[in-house]
Structure 1
Amino acid sequence: MQAYEFINNLIPPLKPKDKAKMALTWMEEIRTNMLPVVENNRFIGFVTEELIYTLNNPELQISKIALKFISCIVYQDKHIYDVIKVASENQTNMVAVIDRENNYLGVVTMEDAIGAFAGSLSIQSQGAVLILSMFMTDYSLFEISRIVESENAKILSSFISNDPLDDSKIKVTLKLDKSEVRHIKATLERFGYRIIDHYQEEESGNGEQERIDNLLRFLQI
């Protein structure tokens, strides 16, 4: 799941000599609010719809606009996790992808990144999500897995983030292969783990939307 695999080839790069009105036309056609700008095959930033409307000059060349998100880039061989991390840090929905010689390759959108996870086995599979809070020094995926497996369950994937309820702790989000987690929760709590939230999947006719909702909760986006 490397970044280059999810490049969206429908999003064209602008050149510095292009005009603002062209950028707006392309944004409207592909239904986005920003586009990458490339000069001599080098990514130099994003131009946004907001920037163009603020300047209110459709004939203005892109080179005359102060571009945004200049550092919103990842190397082509980085994991899709890194794409989401960079997008989150820059609070944007698009990340430029470059090779190790800094040549521009394309962009990955957050929709594409989320789609990558939504198509993975850990998201498609039925199962519950558990969220634990702990100190980083207490974190051991091996130990947590051992406890979970003692209840005849497996961890399909895991995710670590800051605990918003306590800055000194982390949140460990686990996707399990079981939908019923009462015994798993009880066993984890018996070993001193604090469970701050959980989500249990149920069968319904709207499974695709449930998988997307579950993914967003899992990634805490």
Structure 2
Amino acid sequence: MTEIKDFINNQVEPLQSNDFIVDVQNIFLDFEYTHFPIIENDVFIGSIGRDEAEMYTSTDSINEHKYGLHRFFVREKMNWFDIFEEFSKNHTNILPILDEKNQYLGFYELDDVLHFLNETTFIKENGGIIVIEKNTNDFTFSQITQIIESNDAKILGLFISYSDSETTQITVKITLSNFNEIIQTFRRYNYTILSEHQEDSYLNSLKERSDYLDKYLSI
């Protein structure tokens, strides 16, 4: 089974703080990285950004620009979801990886993490997506699980896709069995169904009545 740590890249060596800006510029010519890690005595001290490197004088030492390094990184044992979040939060396509002593281990590339995500059950397995909403204080994951499993379906993945003090939206991927029954059960438990589904008999019935009324009024 593939794990996220299998995608650690340590084939491209980080630059040293006493290297020169021209070395950074050459890296960015060879690779489409937005940032590149810098170390000092095997300890990560930050990443230099492509935009900054293009503005610096090529003969400068990286040491002269340490104040402008970006400090984001991930830990060796972080899960894939937190890693993906760090990519998004820092607008980068490369994330340095450190151990608990801040020793540099390598980096993740965004394309590799997206590849890993595509291999997860949530993406890879066939199923249907339901987006539901309920008051933030009223929903529980145990209730959502019970509703789905009581209708003889299985959860392939779920996560909170939006939340504030009043409402929370949950995206759930499930096996396709008894899809309509699951939708109706969520409604009975006062969940709002935000996603549209051809299997939704309640909405289909409303649409049929609306179409009938439109025809009647046009007579």
Same structural fold, with TM-score higher than 0.5 when normalized by the shorter chain:
yes
Mapped contact 1:158–1:172 kept (Cα < 8 A): yes
1:188-221 CA distance string (max 9 Å, x none): 1221111223589xxxxxxxxxxxxxxxxxxxxx
Contact 1:17–1:61 at 8 Å: present in 2 too? yes
User: For residue 201 of structure 2, what is the aligned residue in structure 1?
Assistant: none
Q: Secondary structure of 1:137's match?
A: coil
Q: How far off is 1:107 after superposition?
A: 1.1
Tell me the amino acid that sits aligned with residue 185 of structure 1. I
Determine what percentage of the aligned residue pairs are the same residue: 26
Is residue 2:93 matched to residue 1:93? yes
Shift of 1:180: 7.6
* Bigger shift: residues 146-155 or 4-13: 4-13
Q: Equivalent residue for 1:154?
A: 154
SS of 1:35's equivalent in the other structure is: strand
Q: Distance in 2 between matches of 1:198 and 1:79?
A: 31
1:196 aligns with 2:194: yes
- Structure 1 distance, partners of 2:28, 2:177, is 42
Q: TM-score, length-normalised on structure 2?
A: 0.78
Taking structure 1 as the reference length, the TM-score comes to 0.78
Q: In angstroms, what is the RMSD of aligned CA positions?
A: 2.4
Q: In 2 relative to 1, CA 95–199 (structure 1 residues): closer, same or farther, beyond 3 Å? A: farther
Aligned length: 196
The amino acid of 1:24's aligned partner reads Q
In structure 2, the residue matched to 1:67 is 68
Give structure 1 stretches of 5+ with no counterpart: 201-221
Task: Say whether the 8 Å CA contact 2:161–2:170 is kept in structure 1.
Answer: yes
Structure label with greater radius of gyration: 2
Matched to 2:109, the amino acid is: T
Query: Matched residues in 2 for 1:53 and 1:199: separation?
Result: 50
Give me the whole-angstrom Cα distance separating, in 1, the residues matched to 2:35 and 2:172.
Answer: 34
* Displacement of 1:2: 6.2
Runs of 4+ in 1 over 6 A off after TM superposition: none
User: How far, CA to CA, are the matches of 1:68 and 1:167 in structure 2?
Assistant: 36
Check if 1:44 corresponds to 2:45: yes
Contact 1:2 1:79 survives alignment (8 Å)? no
2:168 maps to a residue whose letter is I
Conserved 8 A contact 2:75-2:100: yes
Residues in 1 aligned to 2:107 and 2:150: alpha-carbon distance in whole angstroms: 43
Per the TM alignment, residue 124 of structure 1 is displaced from its structure 2 partner at its CA by 0.9
| Whole-Å separation in 2 of the counterparts to 1:96 and 1:156 | 30
Structure 2, unpaired ranges of 5+: 199-219
The answer to which structure, 1 or 2, has the higher relative contact order (CA under 8 A, 6+ apart) is 1
